[in-house]
């Protein structure tokens, strides 16, 4: 299984509307990507650093696909629409990471 993480750093001057992301953007992503092989979507919203300071990341979103070709095909079909929606909830460019799910 392939996991693609989008990590939204909390930097000076940045903003992130977690409610909009969860209530509107995530269902939008499901609607586009479920028919194209999305196996799961998990969103984690930053609450605080361990010392109580603001969270270092606004959010981490994880997309699960069977493999890289399935993800690439889905992004070719829908990636532009997903990224075009980003200004509705943030001014932060996400850091993207591709990972392989390992059994523990």
Supply the pLDDT for residue 103: 73
Beta bridge partners of 95: 7
Supply the pLDDT for residue 102: 81
Supply 44's token pair.
Answer: 């984690």
* pTM (2 d.p.): 0.91
Residues of the chain with pLDDT under 50: none
Asked if residues 101 and 64 have their Cβ atoms less than 8 Å apart, the reply is yes
Q: How far apart are the first and last CA of the chain?
A: 14
Asked if residues 10 and 54 have their Cβ atoms less than 8 Å apart, the reply is yes
């Amino acid at each position: 299984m392939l996991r693609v993480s989008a990590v939204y750093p909390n930097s000076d001057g940045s903003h992130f509307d977690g409610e909009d992301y969860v209530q509107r953007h995530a269902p939008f992503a499901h609607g586009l990507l479920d028919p194209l092989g999305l196996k799961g979507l998990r969103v984690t919203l930053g609450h605080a650093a361990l010392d109580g300071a603001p969270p270092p990341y606004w959010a981490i979103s994880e997309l699960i696909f069977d493999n890289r070709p399935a993800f690439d095909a889905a992004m070719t079909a829908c990636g532009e629409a997903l990224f075009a929606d980003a200004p509705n909830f943030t001014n932060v460019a996400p850091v993207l990471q591709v990972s392989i799910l390992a059994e523990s």
